[in-house]
Chain A
């Protein structure tokens, strides 16, 4: 039996917006095995981002459990979750979320530095990752000086920096044109080939095709287990 990397049990997440309570996830049960490439799709507001945030330990469930690599994330404090994210999860956001005051290479190195790598290895690792996404020539450019596709490639390099076993990507091609999106699809292909566990929220047909399993999320529930 394969190792279960992600396990959610009756997962609920509710947001309070003024007087209105919005249920983003409703009793959601999900299992993801090691090396699986899972894509999640569904209309806007279906709860895709919320699910990824909960799996990544960025947010805590209102009720239910989210267990990732054996850790019940709802029970841990912020310090543990930060260490957990650094070691286990690589995040890719739809809006890139690069740090504007850091150059491309510094954005990648930031994560490696956080993990406490040796000084000499940080530079080498960051350069290699930029090379992997084909951006070694843009290493010293700031995010605002890069195109959308380039920024997303830096974001992927950053997500891979600590060699995390789980990659979470939220609409990675959502802000990109078809051509640029293809570069991202290729990076995801590489990840799949490396047997990384990948969970992607996407509407992009090319990424959906890559997936071992595709889940449809609607109103906070998985419709096609």
Chain B
């Protein structure tokens, strides 16, 4: 028989197994493709927000790193699962290979037949998976747009081609392994009804006799099908790592970014200043979530000055916890090159940076009076600093090569960069320098904006007091809590958008476990039939299958969740903020994930016990 005719006939006559394998591989392929193209589209959308002048570079980095890690894990999970399903399918063919060898078929021809069969399975599944993956992508994008999001329908073809090629390659490599292994098995062994590739003949650790009957049987089934169990655990662990990163990572990152914003803007902060300047400041702050055209303004107009006496009067109001007067202006700032020792030639120095420049908001502060607590890489300004600066994240990323080894020039004076802060003000294009130095350089003592931290429990009284104090003066009071709320809403909006990924990852994990169980149970069909013939009730078989799924889920869950949390904390989010509520939500979601995974085993279990005992025993 030709090398094409045999595999085609073989596949069409083993409809159930062929269908199951193609279904499993198609689900895996479509899910992987969907997650990667959907994820990359989300990445592009968020990048677009950043390019459009919204979202600071620091925040954009958090989002893009999250999507990148999820994307990589998606490809990894897809590759593992595909290879595992192929391995499982081909392991079932050992006996057929033995029969062919016994009949005198050469090993080369056997390899040819089964590799052709493997290729047909993989190509059919990958093509079907690509069609379903792209279909699911357009469906989800349309669904998101109906839900009020605005997502472009652009499809990244490179991602489609890349995933297609990666999965085809990986499936062939892993699928060929059991075929080559099986081709090496002696015909007599392969023909034995009891021989099964990957079944170990070691007793292993004794099963504690106190374990219940179901647990004992399930444990033995898993332990003695070592290689299949090991592969299943690896596969599910990767999928659960992905799910943990997306669920836990997403939730923690959401809370952390919200916290960064709260720290940058400050909670219960009241802004006092000339109406032109407060309006301007609010607009500059709003650039994080909306792109506004702004006309130039003279920040140093004497009308905007706030006197020292007013600052002390306001800070003496009961309920005002802290007063932070500032001198703010927009100006051009310049990158100053840094000098460092050449790591390769200790006697040589090398220059770091360039001579870039750009517009930034320069804020003169008195470090000891600052009301904000930004997330800072490096150090904060302190009272003794004179010519030091802390710059915003966008400025650092766009204008500096190694900010903490460089300086920034403001009004022709150089300030050493002490730290980089994650700030939404002017979308991260901001420089904080000591007020004394700024006043000296500008030749203008005094302040033009005042920030008051007030006691939240008596805010209305305090605000009334402040208003009273300012009556007759051309100064306005603005509560920053409202704008902080808009920042948080904007971040929540992006995260709710990104959090579609965990939902789809969860669906993928469930489908993967289902495919694994269907194939694995199909392989154990005969043994379950024997157990039923010996008197095991259908319920007992379901319990055994469920317990097997539970054990695999728990072991892979422990590995996957630990690795997922490690990736989240080490690579994804600097200084994560985790509240008790977040811990409970994350734990709840992960338990729900594990629960869904275990419950999904009931479907193939039910299918198994519905089969008659006789057809199960005599199933091949």
Question: Size of chain A's interface in residues, with CB distance under 8 A?
Answer: 37
Residues from chain B with Cβ under 8 Å of A59 in the complex = 612-614
Residues from chain B with Cβ under 8 Å of A97 in the complex = 526, 530, 533, 617
Cβ contact of A101, chosen from B221, B535, B614, cutoff 8 A: B221
**Contact status B539-A99, CB under 8 Å:** no
B158 within 8 Å of A by Cβ?
no
A30 within 8 Å of B by Cβ?
no
B536 within 8 Å of A by Cβ?
yes
Chain B nearest CB from A193 CB (Å) reads: 25
Tell me the bound Cα distance from A96 to B194 in angstroms.
10
B65 within 8 Å of A by Cβ?
no
Chain B nearest CB from A13 CB (Å) reads: 10
A144 within 8 Å of B by Cβ?
yes
Cβ contact of A98, chosen from B194, B213, B612, cutoff 8 A: B194
**Contact status B203-A111, CB under 8 Å:** no
B507 within 8 Å of A by Cβ?
no
Residues from chain B with Cβ under 8 Å of A51 in the complex = none
Instruction: Knowing A58-B614, A99-B530, A102-B220 are in contact, say whether A115-B535 is a contact too (CB < 8 A).
Output: yes
**Contact status A158-B614, CB under 8 Å:** no
**Contact status A99-B613, CB under 8 Å:** no
* Closest Cβ neighbor of A88 among chain B residues: B535
**Contact status A140-B613, CB under 8 Å:** no
* Closest Cβ neighbor of A143 among chain B residues: B194
* Closest Cβ neighbor of A59 among chain B residues: B614
Residues from chain B with Cβ under 8 Å of A82 in the complex = 532, 535-538, 540
Binding site secondary structure of chain B:
helix
Tell me the bound Cα distance from A57 to B570 in angstroms.
60
Tell me the bound Cα distance from A91 to B532 in angstroms.
11
A119 within 8 Å of B by Cβ?
yes
**Contact status B535-A144, CB under 8 Å:** no
B193 within 8 Å of A by Cβ?
yes
A95 within 8 Å of B by Cβ?
yes
List 23 A–B pairs whose Cβ atoms lie within 8 Å, in order of A's numbering. A58-B533, A58-B614, A59-B613, A78-B537, A78-B538, A78-B609, A82-B540, A86-B534, A86-B536, A87-B535, A97-B526, A101-B199, A101-B224, A111-B534, A113-B216, A114-B213, A114-B540, A119-B209, A142-B194, A144-B192, A145-B201, A158-B534, A162-B535
7 cross-chain pairs, A with B, having the tightest CB-CB distances, nearest first: A86-B535, A101-B224, A82-B537, A144-B194, A85-B535, A143-B194, A100-B194
Q: Which residues of B contact A (CB under 8 A)?
A: 192-196, 199, 201, 203, 209-210, 213, 216-217, 220-221, 224-225, 526-527, 530-540, 609, 612-614, 617
Further 20 A-B residue pairs, CB within 8 A, beyond A86-B536, A100-B527, A114-B540: A53-B614, A58-B613, A58-B614, A78-B609, A82-B532, A83-B537, A85-B534, A93-B617, A101-B221, A101-B224, A101-B225, A101-B527, A111-B535, A113-B216, A114-B534, A143-B194, A144-B201, A145-B201, A158-B534, A162-B535
